[in-house]
Structure 1
Amino acid sequence: MLSVLGFSTIVVFLLLIMTKRLSVLLALILVPVCFAFIGGFTATSIGEMIIAGLKQVAPTGIMLMFAVLYFGIMIDAGLFDPMIAGIVRLVKGDPLKITIGTALLTMLVHLDGDGTATFMITISALLPIYKRLHMKRLLLPCIVALSAGVMHLVPWSGTMARAMTVMQADTKQLLIPILPSMISGIVWVLCVAYYFGRKERKRLGVVHLDYNHHQELSDEQKSIRRSQLFWFNVVLTVALIVSLIIALLPLPALFIIAFSIALLINYPKQSEQKSRLAAHASNVFLVSIMIFAAGIFSGILTGTKMIDAMAASLVSLVPHQHAAYLPAIVGVTSMPLSLVFTPDAYYFGVLPVLKGAAVHYGMNPIEMGRAAVLGQMTVGFPLSPLTASTFVLIGLSEVELSDHQKFTFKWAFGTTLMMVIIALLTGAIHI
């Protein structure tokens, strides 16, 4: 019963947002609440689940609030202006070079394993170029999502950390065998970017850009630029990213401190500070409210034990005589299931069940972990409504979640299929 309720919750939620019958915000809240009542749970218990879910995402929500503010201040101060101008000079108005450059830049930036920071940096730098050339709006979030997704297999990403913890394995056991798959995923993403670029070049042609970013700024934008503080902002941002990678402090604390320093140094007057906060208030509100709504969604699914029931049902669907296909099935379904399970729910709820099933069937359990990371909250995380960074990506790209999912899903699924095929050919997983 709980399994049926869980899958029904997911299906109804996806149908409502894909058909735009309900906004993502309201669907994240109302759908699980309704199904919890249908499942016979009391108002008191549902309320407790909601609070538990909110508490779970509170650090992430706070981090994103100050991350949006920090990078907003950096954009206002002009930190990314030279990067934008340099990219434009390099690509020379050629959509093909722009799409390939988008993929390469995202892969480079995402070496830190932080999806939120990657999306803020790459989208902020590249969206003005896509707008200037009138390129299709959905291309940018799609290419960035694919590029960040395949690079999310770096061992210090949150997803890989969860997988290594559950599998009790190190990078030598979990990551090294699937490196050929990761490389094939990178090649696939570059080919997709090339395909998009060729189509846009055919549609738009090569546009001559005599680009001087400062000439395009309004008087207000020019007044808030802080070119004299450029190198200070570079050092501060690099220090922040390094601190994030080495986990010097908890992520929310790092962004709070970095934002406070950035605001004080770049805009010392209180009137300027209030103006900057007001300018970014809308983005901060939209991102943070989505995070807390997602917390309610996952809190109810977890608290009602729907997640546990769905995990058990998925394993039971595989007959004993077909158990040998389980790693391949896990790999193929890993990316789509990113839309269903939160990273914690999958890696701490589903993967242990799969690991136990592998042991039961006399298989190498590490193959379950390798198969899972080929898509579950790696390639799939930038499309999932259950991850905070997805809303940063679509918010900054100025697109709707449903449009982004419809456009990007097949290409992301293709990435996972490519990596699964290579994993099978290289023996990282077996059938």
Structure 2
Amino acid sequence: MSYPAIIGFVMMIVIVWVLLKQKTSTMFAFTVIPIIGAILVGASPTQIGNYLTKGLGMTTPVALIMLFSLPYFLLMADTGFFNGIVRRILKHINLSPVVLTCLTLLVAMITGFDVSITSIYLITIPLLLPFYQKLHMKPIILVFLTTVGAINTFDVPWSARMLRSASLIPNIPGGANHLFSMMFPTQVIFTVLLFAMAAFLGFREQKRIKKECATTDMTAGKVDISDIVDDPELARPKFFWINVTLTVLVILALCLMPSVPSYYVFAFGLVIALAYNFPDLKQQNKLLKKYAASLLPIMPAILLSGVVVGVMQYSGMMKAMVNTLVKIIPSSMGPWVYIIIAVFSTPLMFIFTNDTWYYVLMPIVVSLMKAYGVPSDIVIITLFMNMGALLTPIAQPQIYIGVDLTHGAVDLSQYVKYAFIPIWGMSLVWIGLGLLTGAFR
């Protein structure tokens, strides 16, 4: 194992350990530990500066999205927007834990069509959290199922993951659509299984709630429209349909105008919503100061995760780590290297970022498998669904948004401990389905 690989592995293990054990703040882990790693591999101050510039450039758009999207949805919540949706839903359905878990997965999948993990969390969790609270369901299930819904939208042809992967097969016209069509049969079966899992979680919660409420008032958790109370000062019921229209337009703009930066779409929506809901400038400033408290320290943590990405990717650590992992596998198992890596993709994502997975690991494995006659597109779709990315904020910093939106009910370490085994299990099921359908062979 090369020296840069050793430093890279140690650095990532230390960062994950201190985050899960809550030994230091996230900002400290992302800011200090990577710089120590860069110094240990012999990087000069100028080189470290370049790593930081490139890495922070990757996470700045995500941080900017949060700067405007979180206040937008907090503003909508204050106006009674989400409460209004809840009231209208309750008029038409009899809500139960099983219905709610399946609904969570469905909403996350629908909102995921704009291929923004950020918007999936920002829309699904604030919308459905009041239901979970009223039914006495665990909020961690809401975060988990929202994440699962996000995973199921990874492979739409216009997603960044799919476009990155398609760049590895330039000789195939319409590479993204080609890869999607190869995965589609597996995706259909997988989606059915996801809804079965969501229903199981809802059924299990229903049993737990009935058991815990056996000696108390069973009607305490019943969702009633009269229980949903708006803020008397900030509620804007007269503007409900205007707010619905604006939010739909924002989501459509995210989906249909990919050339426009997402953060600008949310910024535009925020200033328009403030203008007609709260025309008084003093009240606008008061609300913005209130929302600013929700941005700290989550937004800086998202931004500073770019320090880890920049140092790992541009110092050569990540490439050395990938080469080490590939060499560990015995040569006798050469034809199965891509499947072996796919099997361990979930834990491996704790030491990778999305970019290094698609731009560093995949090309190496694709080249290696050519010697064994395995087509490039088969290798790509087998390694494509790196579900473990949504377990670590280093690969997917938007996870912080998801847990933060529960208002302290769920923290990062709780989420990772709860979701790790299920998500790894889902990854193994995905691989198994792909092998059974012949897509990965």
Structure 2 partner of 1:426: 437
Structure 2 partner of 1:237: 247
Q: Contact 2:83–2:228 (CA<8 Å) still a contact in 1?
A: no
Are residues 37 and 210 of structure 1, via their aligned partners in 2, closer, same or farther at CA, if it must alter by over 3 Å?
A: closer
Tell me the alpha carbon deviations over residues 344-396 of structure 1, each in whole angstroms, 9 at most, x when there is no partner: 1211121111121122332211112101222x2xx333322122321111111
Q: Contact 1:110–1:148 (CA<8 Å) still a contact in 2?
A: yes
Are residues 88 and 383 of structure 1, via their aligned partners in 2, closer, same or farther at CA, if it must alter by over 3 Å?
A: farther
Moved more, 82-91 or 315-324: 82-91
Give distance in 1, aligned partners of 2:62 and 2:202: 35
2:263 aligned with 1:252, yes or no? yes
Give distance in 1, aligned partners of 2:92 and 2:193: 23
Are residues 135 and 240 of structure 1, via their aligned partners in 2, closer, same or farther at CA, if it must alter by over 3 Å?
A: same
2:143 aligned with 1:141, yes or no? yes
Structure 1 partner of 2:419: 408
| Shift >3 Å, 4+ stretches | 42-45, 86-93
Give distance in 2, aligned partners of 1:60 and 1:194: 32
Give distance in 1, aligned partners of 2:112 and 2:146: 10
- Superposition deviation, residue 408 in structure 1: 0.5
Partner of 1:300, secondary structure, is helix
Tell me the alpha carbon deviations over residues 203-255 of structure 1, each in whole angstroms, 9 at most, x when there is no partner: 212755252267533xxx23212222222222222222122112151222222
Alignment of 1:203-242 (within 5 A): 203-205=208-210, 207=219, 209-212=222-225, 215-217=228-230, 221-242=231-252
Tell me the alpha carbon deviations over residues 54-112 of structure 1, each in whole angstroms, 9 at most, x when there is no partner: 23322221122111122222222222223223444566452222222212222222232
- Which amino acid in structure 2 is aligned with residue 133 of structure 1? L
Are residues 327 and 79 of structure 1, via their aligned partners in 2, closer, same or farther at CA, if it must alter by over 3 Å?
A: same
- Which amino acid in structure 2 is aligned with residue 195 of structure 1? F
- Superposition deviation, residue 47 in structure 1: 3.7
Give distance in 2, aligned partners of 1:13 and 1:277: 33
Are residues 78 and 167 of structure 1, via their aligned partners in 2, closer, same or farther at CA, if it must alter by over 3 Å?
A: farther
Alignment of 1:172-321 (within 5 A): 172-205=177-210, 207=219, 209-212=222-225, 215-217=228-230, 221-246=231-256, 247-321=258-332
Are residues 414 and 263 of structure 1, via their aligned partners in 2, closer, same or farther at CA, if it must alter by over 3 Å?
A: same
Structure 2 partner of 1:100: 102
- CA RMSD in angstroms comes to 2.1
Q: Contact 1:327–1:367 (CA<8 Å) still a contact in 2?
A: no
- Superposition deviation, residue 300 in structure 1: 1.3
Give distance in 1, aligned partners of 2:116 and 2:354: 14
Q: List alignment gaps of at least 5 residues for structure 1.
A: none
- Superposition deviation, residue 316 in structure 1: 2.2
Moved more, 9-18 or 42-51: 42-51
Moved more, 158-167 or 275-284: 158-167
Are residues 104 and 44 of structure 1, via their aligned partners in 2, closer, same or farther at CA, if it must alter by over 3 Å?
A: same
Q: Percent identity?
A: 27
Give distance in 2, aligned partners of 1:389 and 1:381: 11
**Which of 359, 381, 391 is the aligned partner of 1:383?**
391
Are residues 405 and 261 of structure 1, via their aligned partners in 2, closer, same or farther at CA, if it must alter by over 3 Å?
A: same
- Superposition deviation, residue 43 in structure 1: 4.2
Give distance in 1, aligned partners of 2:206 and 2:268: 44
Tell me the alpha carbon deviations over residues 291-313 of structure 1, each in whole angstroms, 9 at most, x when there is no partner: 11101111111232111111222
Q: Contact 1:181–1:420 (CA<8 Å) still a contact in 2?
A: no
- Superposition deviation, residue 400 in structure 1: 1.3
Give distance in 1, aligned partners of 2:368 and 2:353: 21
**Which of 386, 393, 417 is the aligned partner of 2:428?**
417
2:59 aligned with 1:46, yes or no? no
- Superposition deviation, residue 125 in structure 1: 0.9
- Superposition deviation, residue 261 in structure 1: 1.5
Give distance in 2, aligned partners of 1:356 and 1:394: 39
**Which of 390, 401, 426 is the aligned partner of 1:392?**
401
- Superposition deviation, residue 401 in structure 1: 1.0
- Which amino acid in structure 1 is aligned with residue 157 of structure 2? P
- Which amino acid in structure 2 is aligned with residue 278 of structure 1? K
TM-score under structure 2 normalisation?
A: 0.90
Tell me the alpha carbon deviations over residues 1-58 of structure 1, each in whole angstroms, 9 at most, x when there is no partner: 1111111111111122222222333222222122222323344433442233223322
- Which amino acid in structure 2 is aligned with residue 14 of structure 1? V
Give distance in 1, aligned partners of 2:54 and 2:338: 33
Give distance in 1, aligned partners of 2:233 and 2:134: 22
Partner of 2:164, secondary structure, is helix
Are residues 93 and 362 of structure 1, via their aligned partners in 2, closer, same or farther at CA, if it must alter by over 3 Å?
A: closer
Partner of 1:341, secondary structure, is coil
- Which amino acid in structure 1 is aligned with residue 70 of structure 2? V
- Which amino acid in structure 2 is aligned with residue 173 of structure 1? H
Are residues 299 and 222 of structure 1, via their aligned partners in 2, closer, same or farther at CA, if it must alter by over 3 Å?
A: same
TM-score under structure 1 normalisation?
A: 0.92
Give distance in 1, aligned partners of 2:79 and 2:120: 19
Give distance in 2, aligned partners of 1:331 and 1:8: 22
The count of residues paired between Structure 1 and Structure 2 equals 424
Tell me the alpha carbon deviations over residues 315-335 of structure 1, each in whole angstroms, 9 at most, x when there is no partner: 222333312112312322333
- Which amino acid in structure 1 is aligned with residue 352 of structure 2? F
- Which amino acid in structure 2 is aligned with residue 33 of structure 1? I
Partner of 2:155, secondary structure, is coil
- Which amino acid in structure 1 is aligned with residue 400 of structure 2? F
Give distance in 2, aligned partners of 1:418 and 1:362: 25
